[in-house]
Amino acid sequence: MPAHTARTSTVEQQGSGSAERPGVTGDLPWIADAGQVAPRDARALSKLFFDRLQVLEEGTPEYQYARNTLIEMNLSLVRFAAGRFRNRGSGEMEDIVQVGTIGLIKAIDRFDLSREVEFTSFAVPYIVGEIKRFFRDSTWSVHVPRRLQELRVDLARAKEALAAGLDRDPTVKELAEYLGLEEEEVAEGIVAANGYTAGSLDIPADTADSVGRSTNGRTFADVLGEPDPAIETVENLHALAPLLEELTPRERRIIEMRFGQEMTQARIGDELGISQMHVSRLLSRTLLKLRAGMFTEE
């Protein structure tokens, strides 16, 4: 009995009692939980599933079953590749695995048994490439040009190489000479690298004592400035001052009584010996004039 047949029999026993699901698996074995298949068994079963996938019609239940099973059986490749990036940047492992799974799916869709290459050897570069693309394009806190993103990697390697020989951090000039770049380019790359990760507002803003303990527990959020709520009023009054000077004495008096003394229109009418309706018309006309002047100033 061929090796893959023996393993297939073992996998079929994982089902709920039926080794086949007519209309779903076709002549492929039914695998109840493909994610639990051992990597060695997954390699052998993958060949069988890839062989059938090439002749199945895309979109059919049998095709979807074969493709989905291949994805689940080979997720261990994604976890293996993602482990290499565990401590890189601020990405969560769950996000890295999800991105790596996209690479796995691309590898499955493009794999051809006729190439006589192990699927693992074919898939890992796709998975790693997708994860690297994720870090390159998606994890920068501030968007910077691609050339500066790539320069950050070169600078990190150059710093590590030079620091080992100098026993100190290299200067901008030393980095420029090592990379064959202008000092201005290196300086630009160093500044851009600060956009790779963003600091939290909850990080302590004060200095620490000799053993690294915070002295007063203040964070950046505690000392972050905010707009003065009265500044807009000051700006408006500053803009209104010359406009008020252009009003007639009666217009200025009406404005002062209405908004300075907070008098009602009826009382203003009594003071000026005019009707409340007349006061309302004068007030509306004056305010319209002031608004027009404010918009012109802007």
- Per residue in 142-198, pLDDT tens? 556 667 767 777 888 888 888 888 888 889 889 888 888 888 888 888 877 766 555
CATH number at residue 62: 1.10.1740.10
The answer to whether the beta carbons of residues 223 and 216 sit under 8 Å apart is no
Q: Same domain for 263 and 236?
A: yes
Q: Is 80 exceeded by the pLDDT of residue 22?
A: no
The answer to whether the beta carbons of residues 191 and 144 sit under 8 Å apart is no
Residue 275, helix vs strand vs coil: coil
Residue 214, helix vs strand vs coil: strand
- Residue ending a domain, among 223, 256, 283, is 223
Q: Same domain for 183 and 276?
A: no
Q: Same domain for 196 and 293?
A: no
Q: Is 80 exceeded by the pLDDT of residue 73?
A: yes
Q: What is the per-residue pLDDT for 118?
A: 85
What pLDDT digit, counting tens, does each position of 192-226 carry? 776 655 556 666 655 444 444 444 567 766 766 67
Q: Same domain for 162 and 186?
A: yes
- Residue ending a domain, among 71, 106, 138, is 138
Q: Is 50 exceeded by the pLDDT of residue 12?
A: no
Q: Same domain for 95 and 190?
A: no
Q: Same domain for 64 and 164?
A: no
User: Residue 49, Cβ neighbours under 10 Å: how many?
Assistant: 25
Query: Cα–Cα distance between 162 and 168 in angstroms, integer?
Result: 8
Q: Same domain for 124 and 159?
A: no
Split into its structural domains, the chain has a count of 3
Summary mean pLDDT of the chain: 76
Q: Same domain for 204 and 268?
A: no
What pLDDT digit, counting tens, does each position of 103-149 carry? 999 999 888 877 778 888 888 898 988 888 877 665 555 556 667 76
- Give me the amino acid identity at 195: G
- Residue ending a domain, among 187, 205, 223, is 223
Quick one: 186 exposed, middle or buried, by C-beta within 10 A (0-12, 13-18, 19+)? buried
Q: Same domain for 218 and 246?
A: no
Q: What is the per-residue pLDDT for 298?
A: 47
Q: Same domain for 89 and 200?
A: no
Picking from 147, 155, 196, the residue whose alpha carbon sits closest to that of residue 179 is 155
Picking from 46, 45, 47, 67, the residue whose alpha carbon sits closest to that of residue 56 is 67
**Helices (H), strands (E): how many in the chain?**
14, 0
Q: Same domain for 108 and 20?
A: yes
What pLDDT digit, counting tens, does each position of 239-272 carry? 778 888 888 888 888 888 888 888 999 998 898 8
- Give bridge partners of residue 208 from the DSSP assignment: 214
Q: What is the per-residue pLDDT for 35?
A: 77
pLDDT band at 296 (very low <50, low <70, confident <90, very high): low
CATH number at residue 154: 1.10.10.10
Q: 37-44 — which CB contacts under 8 Å span 24+ positions?
A: 37/11, 37/73, 39/76, 41/7, 41/10, 41/11, 42/73, 42/74, 42/76, 43/118, 43/119, 43/120, 44/3, 44/4, 44/7
Query: Cα–Cα distance between 281 and 224 in angstroms, integer?
Result: 47
Domain span at residue 85? 3-138
Specify the pTM. 0.43
Q: Same domain for 131 and 154?
A: no
